[in-house]
Each structure stands twice: as structure tokens, then as C-alpha cells.
Amino acid sequence: MHSSIPRTGLRTGTNHLFIPGPTNVPEPVRRAMNVAMEDQRGPEFGALGLGILADLKRIFRTETARVILYPGSGTGAWEAAITNTLNPGDRVVMARHGQFSTLWAEMATRLGLEVDLIDVAWGAGVPVSEVTRRLAADRKGAIKAVFVTHNETATGVTSDIAAVRRALDDCFHDALLFVDGVSSVGSIDFRMDDWGVDLAVTGSQKGLMCPAGLGILAVSPKALKASDASTMRRAYFEFRDFAMLADTGYFPYTPPTQLLHGLRAALDRIQAEGLDTVLSRHARLAEGVRRAVAAWGLQTCAEHPSLASNTVTAIRVPEGVDAREVIRIGHQRYNTSFGSGLSRLAGKVFRIGHLGDLNEGMCLTALAVAEMALVEAGADIDFGSGVAAAQAWYAQGHSTQSLKIAAE
């Protein structure tokens, strides 16, 4: 007698996770979190905290900023950045070009800021020329901050932070520069000091390869000074409370000790690989995914190749195909999770996250499953076309690297 197990029943093998966060947690990081509870006021704990804060500064590429950790998410860090440095009624400039830039703008409005929105297509980057125009027209310094989503996860678009800094400098404008780096820091080149970023926000669950649960902020000296004049209501997110203890490695609130041990292991992995090598790996893997999409005859959500993200690719499905079906088939039939299209992109795109603890074989798995799901959902693509295009790119990259090593 044969028993039939439905595809939606028992799952065998690996659950393939290709969403743009939370990302896969490496086994050494998982093991590092499997420690007994400890005294967060004990003599050994401070050394753990100090080491993490110092190494996070290297990830942000800053020597001058203070790193602050909050148990929570990147959204909590967004709120901390706003409430510590701005005042109710302050005018801020924000571009709205995807779900996460939209949510950040909504938060700013709810917190009492006057949000000067620049609406552009979902798939475009931050419109630097329009930001420049608004800064140049602000002759009385009413604009107190410019908010930029470095990597818009909903659309797979990376914006030019250095260009926004040049706009501020060219206009001799003193506004603070806020950057959402949740899906870029640790995976895409980010240079806090070089770009003059005042508040950079990220989280533990993406390029830092840990579970969600830590909101991470890097705060410039200018932003710290602004916090002295901020009158927004805050308690738990008060910068000064953290700063009073930060130089000892301890926290003003109960820290998530197991998560900190995991972050310590994740930072060790990044250092062992080398941050520049990590960034290059992300660029190489992302290019393979994009070549696969082109081989399928499909388009990404990013309007121009120069905007393409190295951490997530949002893929537009053909006319007559529902991206939600692609995602459902991938999950139910092949135990594979893809990112969904968010808000106005629901049903129009699916997303392949390619960041964190990732290699070529994992990307090829994502592409092979995506091909099967696309075909079953009604797309007219050839099996193996995208996989072959990515294979050719990955093999070429390794051949070049092998030749370089041999020459040395």
C-alpha cells in the first residue's frame, strides 16, 4: 500500500530562504547563540559589548560616529534617529519610491514632522537633482534633514548617497543626512564618514546574518550635538542613556545577550572574509541573478542597471502571470521562499534576496526553482536558460580569480 504525501504536507530537505531578510543564519552564528544566560552586569560582559561596538564602526566605515544598539528592529532605530535629533514641526525632505521609503515617511509624519515628499516611480532611485533644487530654494534653512533610503528593498534599487551629500555641500546646507541602510550595510558599499552621513540605520537580520532583534544606529558628532536641542518625547530610545554606559560596553536596559553572542560570531565571519571581499561577493552573486532574469526575457523593477541592488532583485512577471502564484508554487511545491511584491507591486513582481551568508550554489538553486515556478504559473521561458546564464557568469568570475591567484 502506497501513501501519498501532499506537496503542502511533510517537507523534506532544506527550506530554501531567498527573501531579502531575515536572511540565512550561518551555523557558527547559531551555535554562538546557544549559550547559557549570563549576568549582563558581570565583569566579562563589558568586553563583549565593547568589541561589538568597535567592529560595527568598521562595518559602517566610521571613526567618528557613536554606534548605538537597541533591542528591536530597524524600524525602532528609525524612530530613535528621528526622536533624538529633530523637533515637532521640523521640515524634512524625503523621496518616496518604494514600500520602505513610504513607511519611513509615514513614521516621520506621525511623529510630527513636516514631510516634504518627492514622489517618483517605484523602480527609480532618489532624485538627486530634485533634492538639490529644494535645498537650493531653502534660503532660510527651514529644512532640517534629508532622509534617504540607500537600498529600497521593495524594488531592488540602490541610490547614490555620495551624490546627496554633494547636493547638501553644493548648496551650503546644514541639514542632517539620515540614511536607511537596513538592507545595505554589510552587503553594499557604505561609507559613513566619507559621505558625511549623520544618522545611519541598520538591523541585525540582513547583511549581519543574525536573527531579527537588534536595531543598530551610527550617530555622527553633529547628530549627537543636535540631540541636545531636540524636544521630541522619548524615553527608551534616549541617546544619552546609551552614551553614559557605551564606553564600558554595558547597556542601560536588558540586552539580548544570546543575540549579541551571535552578532559577535557574525562580525568575526565578516572580518575573516574581509569587508571588501564580502561586498565584491555580493556584487558577483547579484550580477548572476540579473543575467538570469535577462535570459528569461524578463525585466527587473529597477529602471536602470546603474540602480540595481546587490542584495535583492525584484523581477517583473510577464503579462498574464500573477507573481503571487510564482511565490505560492515555489513555497508549496519546492519548499522555497521568495520575497513578495509589496503594496502597489503585489502580484506584479517577486523578489530574490541574495545577501548575507550566500554562495553561487544557493543562487543557482533560487534561479532553478524560480524557473519551475514561473513556468507552472504560465510564463513562457525555457528551462535552464536563466540558470545557464548565471552559471556562465559565476564560472567566469572564478576562472578570473583562479588566474589572479596563480599569477601571485
Instruction: Flag the least confident range among 46-55, 197-206, 394-403.
Output: 394-403
What percentage of the chain exceeds 70 in pLDDT?
95
- Number of residues in the chain: 408
Alpha-carbon distance of 221 to 212, in angstroms, equals 27
Angle between helices 360-376 and 275-296 (to 10 degrees): 20
Alpha-carbon distance of 191 to 200, in angstroms, equals 10
Please tell me which residue, 206 or 4, carries the higher pLDDT value. 206
pLDDT score of 404 more than 50: no
Q: Structural domains in the chain?
A: 27-271 (3.40.640.10), 274-407 (3.90.1150.10)
The C-alpha cell 537597541 sits at 70
Question: Can you read off the three cell numbers belonging to residue 325?
Answer: 502564484
Here the contacts of 359-368 (C-beta below 8 Å, separation 24 or greater) are 359/285, 360/285, 360/288, 360/390, 360/394, 362/16, 362/18, 363/285, 363/288, 363/289, 363/390, 363/394, 364/390, 364/391, 364/394, 365/16, 365/336, 366/16, 366/18, 366/289, 366/336, 366/338, 367/289, 367/292
Instruction: Flag the least confident range among 149-153, 236-240, 285-289, 295-299.
Output: 236-240
pTM score over 0.75: yes
Helices (H), 90-183: 99-110, 128-137, 161-170
**99-156 tens-digit pLDDT:** 999 999 999 999 999 999 999 999 999 999 999 999 999 999 999 999 999 999 999 9
| Section 243-258 average pLDDT | 90
| Section 391-404 average pLDDT | 68
Alpha-carbon distance of 354 to 156, in angstroms, equals 11
- How confident is the model at residue 5, as a pLDDT? 40
Mean pLDDT of all residues in the chain?
93
**195-208 tens-digit pLDDT:** 999 999 999 999 99
The C-alpha cell 521593495 sits at 154
pLDDT score of 187 more than 90: yes
DSSP 3-state assignment of 262? helix
Number of helices (H) and strands (E) in the chain: give both, helices first. Answer: 13, 14
**309-332 tens-digit pLDDT:** 999 999 999 999 999 999 999 999
Confidence band of 398 (pLDDT split at 50, 70, 90): low
